[in-house]
Structure 1
């Protein structure tokens, strides 16, 4: 867990719910994308990006997302969703996620998302505001090796 916390200093705790399990008695694959969404919004909120959206109408939209399942999750469990930035440009950035199971003391899945900055008032792609770009830059790291 120490390695997880070191690699993902921003993480979001999530309690696994009984209703998230499927007929095969493990957390359904679609739930991981909700976990990623919760972590993404928490990350944005911590950086003030959600407040930026309210004020300017400029905010993040998901262009693409992926998940690689390493081991199943079960109820009951509490997971930590680690989030960080692995690529950053003027109008988009890539987020990386890891789901760490506290009961298994292991990473159960990894994922990433390409996020584009969007002007919701004018319905077009936008440029990251300078202060948001700087905030994201402080969380920019190289992607983990696939073996981790």
Structure 2
């Protein structure tokens, strides 16, 4: 496997995931060649990210404070083709929490536990009225670190 810029040790990196969302590849997510279209993984990342953040309590108004998370960048690396009706486990973890942002990593494994996708993205906490970054509260940082 070629070197992935945001992963130093692939085995250690893989072992740090615990949260995942099951994904069943739908026919509409495939292209004319029968494999998953290159935009579909970003939809999978979104689905898993939302479930992860819900589990972290980010959609609970008592935990979010004055901010809301937005995706600032998103990257995907494709390692193995996926096809209609494949079952995936889309793992999510927080790799780093800063003052106003967090770095989220993704990993998709198929039924044979083969690595199909890796990804990463930066989420920034912003004030919804001003659009300016705001600090992530200490309680949210603790919750994210626990996941």
Aligned partner of 2:43 in structure 1 is 34
Gap runs ≥5 in structure 1:
140-148
Pick closer, same or farther for the CA change 1:127–1:113 going to 2, 3 Å: same
What SS is found at the alignment partner of 1:73?
A: coil
Displacement, 1:52?
Answer: 3.1
- Per the normalisation by structure 2, the TM-score is 0.84
When the two chains are superposed, the root-mean-square deviation of aligned CA atoms in Å is 2.1
The reply to whether residue 22 of structure 1 matches residue 31 of structure 2 is: yes
Q: Write out per-residue CA displacement over residues 99-136 of structure 1, whole angstroms, 9 at most, x where no aligned residue.
A: 1111x431101000011111113322111011111111
Gap runs ≥5 in structure 2:
1-11
Number of residues paired by the alignment? 136
Aligned partner of 2:68 in structure 1 is 59
CA contact (8 A) 2:64 2:140 kept: no
Q: How does 1:57-136 map to 2 (within 5 A)?
A: 57-102=66-111, 104-136=112-144
CA contact (8 A) 1:94 1:113 kept: yes
